[in-house]
Amino acid sequence: MRLIKMEEKYKDLLFDMLEEWYATGEKIVPYAIRKVDYHDFEQYLESLEIKDASDGKVPDSTFFALDEERNILLGAVNIRHYLNEALLLNGGHIGDGIRPSERLKGNATQMIGLALEECRKLGLDKVLMVCDKENIGSAKSIMKNGGVLENEIVVDGVTEQRYWITL
């Protein structure tokens, strides 16, 4: 597995992953890969990253996890370059998601590990990751990458766990 930036040569792989995900009816995460309709590929590419801080947003980078042997996208990570007040509470530095057919295979753990390398490149020495308490798989992937539970908070009726990872 390696992390890639989305570009034209991966368009069919992106469509395959997102069509599978949308067919399940579940919410696709990270938000960065679903905020714009992927069928308008040029606009989709432009939407993947926030370059300037404005409207309460922070600069971010979006990467896709490519399984080179099978030539499929496994999921995606969105890395926020720093935290504002809202992200410090709920959101964290890294949002991640694995397509439904590729879960429970260690892919999230490996993808988070690669995302942490990208965080190091940004100069971060501590990373916050947040997941729903009921998402046990996500919590395990975070903990396998050194995540230490700081606390739990309730956001819109959902208990969220906040984990810190020291790089």
| pLDDT tens digits for range 91-119 | 999 999 999 999 999 999 999 999 999 99
The domain ranges of the chain are 2-124
Q: Is the pLDDT of residue 50 over 90?
A: no
| pLDDT tens digits for range 133-151 | 999 999 999 999 999 999 9
Contacts 24+ apart (CB under 8 A), 76-82: 76/30, 76/32, 76/33, 77/3, 77/30, 77/111, 77/112, 77/114, 77/115, 77/118, 78/30, 78/31, 78/32, 78/33, 79/115, 79/118, 79/119, 79/122, 81/122, 82/58, 82/124
Output the average pLDDT for the chain.
Answer: 95
Q: Is the pLDDT of residue 54 over 80?
A: no
- Fold of the domain built from segment(s) 2-124: Aminopeptidase (3.40.630)
The predicted structure's pLDDT at residue 53: 80
The predicted structure's pLDDT at residue 18: 97
Q: Is the pLDDT of residue 1 over 90?
A: yes
